[in-house]
Structure 1
Amino acid sequence: MSEYLKSAFENVQPFWAVFLSAIMYVMFPEQAYLTAFCAVLGVMMLDVITKYYAIGCRNGGLWNSIKKRKINSNDMWTGTSRKIFAYLIIFIMVGLSYRVSPVAGAASFLGTVVYAVLFLRECQSILENLDDAGNDVGWLLTIVKKRKKKILNDEGVDDDETL
C-alpha cells in the first residue's frame, strides 16, 4: 500500500490535481460554461493570429514586419497576457456567481450574456484586424457591432462601461 501511495504522489503530483480540480469546479459549474470558454479561447487565438496577419500585410510581409520591429513579441505578449488575466478573472466571477446564486437560472443567464459579449468582442477585434489587412469585411463588422450593442442594450449596459 505504501508503494502505491508513494508512486501516486510521485507521478500524479497531487498539488496540481487539486489546483486544477478547484479551477474546474469554480469556472465550469455546467458543461455549457466549458463549451463557451472553449469558444472564447478559440476566437482569442484567432485574434492574435489575425493581428500578426494585419501587421504583416501593412508592412510588406511577416518577415519585413519583424525586421522593421513592427512585430514585437514582448509588446504582443504584454497585451495578450493582460487580456488573458482579465478574462480569467471574469470567468471565475461568472462561475462563482453560479455557485452562490440562489436562483441557478439567473446565474446561467448572466454566464450566457458574459460569454456572448466576450465572444462578440473578440469577433469584432478579428474583423477589425482583417479590415486593417485590407480585406473587405466592413459589412460584417457592422453587423457584429450592432449585435453586440443590441445585447448590451437589452441588458441595460452602456457600451462604454464594458471592457
Structure 2
Amino acid sequence: MILRFLNWQGVAGVAATICLAALLAVQVLQTRHWRDSSADFEKLYREEQANLAMTIADARAAADLARAADHANVTRVAAEQRAITERTNDDYEARLAAARATAERLRLSTPAAADPGARGATSVPGLPDRAGSAAQGTGEDRLPHSDALTATEQAIQLDELIKWVRAQAKVDNNAPAATNR
C-alpha cells in the first residue's frame, strides 16, 4: 500500500508537504523574531519619549531659573544705579548749597571791601556806580557775582554728571557667573 504512494505524484506531494512545512517553520521563526524586534522597538520608543519629556522638563526648568536669575540681576543693577543716582544727587545738592553760601558771603563782603570809607562814622555821599564797576564784579577781568555763581553751578553740575556717568558705567549689567554645584 505504501508503494502506491511512491509514484511520482506521491513523491511530489510528500516533497510539497515537506517544503510547505519548512516554509511554515521559517514563517513561525520570522514571526517570533519580528514580534521580539517590535517589542524592543516599542521599548526604545517609550524610552525615547520619556527622555524627550525629561529634556523638555529640564529645558523649562532651566528657562525658569534663567528668568529668575535675570530678574534678580535686573533688580540688583537697578538698585545699584538708583543708589549711585541718589548719592550723586545728594553730593550735587550739597556742593550747590556750599557754592551759593560762599557766593552770598562774597557778595555781602564785596561792597565793604570795595568802599573802605564806608566803615567810618561820617556819611559822605559817594559817586554813582557805573555799569561794570566794583559793586557789580569781584575785580578786574572777573565775572560779576551772578555770572560767577551761574558758572560755578554749571561747573558743579557738569562735574557731578561726569561722576555719575563714570559710576553708572562701572555697574556690571551682567549677572555674576554661576558657581558649579
- TM-score bucket of the superposed structures, by smaller chain: 0.3 to 0.5
Computing the radius of gyration from Cα coordinates, the structure with the larger value is 2
Give the structure-2-normalised TM-score.
0.31
**Structure showing the higher helix proportion among its residues:** 1
